[in-house]
Amino acid sequence: MSKHRAQHRAPRRRGRIAAVVLALGLTAGAGSAAAMGVIPQLQKPEPASASNALAPAALETAALEELKIPEPKVTPEAQTVEAVPDAAALPPNSGTGLRIVFDQSDQRVWLVESDGSVERTYLVSGSKFNNLQPGSYRVQSKSRTATAFDGSGTMEYFVRFTTGFSEPIGFHSVPRYNNGELEQTKEQLGTPLSAGCIRQWMPDAIALWDFAPIGTRVVVTA
């Protein structure tokens, strides 16, 4: 083969090689896209409309503006008048001035300030027996802890105001058996369950203890 013919064929051969390489590159690119699972229609942004025209910053601002911080929950123990907006009104003929009122029908206690405002009201468990007569009494003594008359358990924050058939009667926490168990549940308050005294849930027993120095008037209604 002469030099002239070799030089004449070289450009033609290079052109064929370039075309083959280009074809292989396009085929490989299409294969890679298929292998990667590219779906072009999911990559296109949606056209702006009236419903989605907000920019990301505006959306974030709107989301923050809708955030509401919940109000703190009132604990079940905090049975103040504010926490019990539908608390029963004081029973009629329950006296005036600073006093403790215990209504046997409703099994409810009110702690009443000198101006007649109710500081606290809550359900209790009074006596199952007819051993407390309606009337006006005074706080006689207070004991931080006391023992049940039959020795079966203990109670706390005992505030005595009278005597029953043979034992003192007063307000105190729900008694606890000697094995540590409570004699009743909080859900049972509002039901007469005691042998004479008025049982209170612990936070209420502490509140009455703090409210009533010796000599405080106690009014018991039917």
Question: Is the pLDDT at 106 greater than 90, yes or no?
Answer: yes
**Helical ranges in the chain per DSSP H:** 3-36, 40-43, 56-66, 202-211
Pick the CATH number of 99-221 from 3.30.420.10, 2.40.440.10, 3.20.20.70, 1.10.1060.10: 2.40.440.10
Ranges of each domain in the chain: 1-31, 99-221
Specify the higher pLDDT residue, 146 or 87. 146
Cβ contact 79:72 at 8 Å: no
Interval 184-222: pLDDT, tens: 999 999 999 999 999 999 999 999 999 999 999 999 999
How many angstroms separate the CA atoms of 15 and 174, rounded? 103
Instruction: Please report, as a single letter, which amino acid is at residue 6.
Output: A
Element at 77 (helix H, strand E): none
Beta pairing partners, 114: none
How many angstroms separate the CA atoms of 17 and 167, rounded? 117
CB neighbours of residue 175 within 10 Å: 21
Interval 120-174: pLDDT, tens: 999 999 999 989 999 999 999 999 999 988 888 999 999 999 998 888 999 999 9
pLDDT band at 87 (very low <50, low <70, confident <90, very high): low
What pTM does this model have? 0.62
202, burial (CB in 10 Å: exposed 0-12, middle 13-18, buried 19+): middle
